[in-house]
Chains A and B, each alone.
Chain A
């Protein structure tokens, strides 16, 4: 991994099209500005990972909603 030290207001260019700017440093939080082409999506890594995980959990369920409803109705009857 390339590691660079930047001060507030300084920037990094990645290729021709992407610029990452350090806007503000406050305590342990850094505010970052990103200029990138619209074809690229820019997301916070933890949200990205959570959505990936959610999608993987959702794919091709082994039980259908119709089956769930059957279960649901049975449970209601028991009450």
Chain B
């Protein structure tokens, strides 16, 4: 099926590419279906595009790419809720905020998106642990080269819709 997006125009996706938010991205409660768009060059910054609202797209990144010791205590409840049985089915994504004037780029490590890579069910999870900030500065990280092999093995890549032409994040 074709979905319309403001940023990428019309893109061809299949229902099997959808990620379903069983619990919403807070503030976007009415939007449950998203697709994760992966660029050909495996840039670790990905677009999470809403299927139902063409204007809604987030820049997301695997939090381990920007903070390699990221290891939050995710509640068993949340894993159960999404039906996650194996560790290798856990995918985490951080939403990136880009502000201009002054330019500031942060990732939300406090409320990651938790996805079951097996059944593609997702939920935004709020961590009780305040070691992880809502606005983790990643300004210096975006210019760093990221390990290609890491990204290729990452669970997020399994979830993504790989497209030949996606505008860069």
Contacts and interface: CB of A to CB of B under 8 A. Distances in A.
A78 interface: no
A61 B57 CA distance: 8
Interface string A30-44: 000000001101010
A53 interface: yes
B81 A58 contact: no
A73 B142 CA distance: 11
Interface residues of A, number: 28
Contact of B27 (A55, A60, A69): A55
Interface residues of B: mostly helix, strand, loop or mixed? Answer: loop
A58 B23 contact: no
A57 interface: yes
A29 B162 CA distance: 51
B86 interface: no
Contact of A68 (B6, B57, B105, B135): B105
A59 B99 contact: no
B97 interface: yes
Interface in A35-79: 38-39, 41, 43, 47-48, 50-66, 68-69, 71-73
Interface residues on B, range: 35 or more
A58 B96 contact: yes
Given A54-B95, A54-B134, A64 B169 contact: yes
B26 A59 contact: no
A38 to B, nearest CB: 5
A60 B56 contact: yes
A65 B98 contact: yes
A56 B169 CA distance: 18
B108 interface: yes
B105 A65 contact: yes
Interface of A: 38-39, 41, 43, 47-48, 50-66, 68-69, 71-73
* A-B CB proximity, top 4 nearest: A52-B27, A66-B168, A58-B97, A61-B98
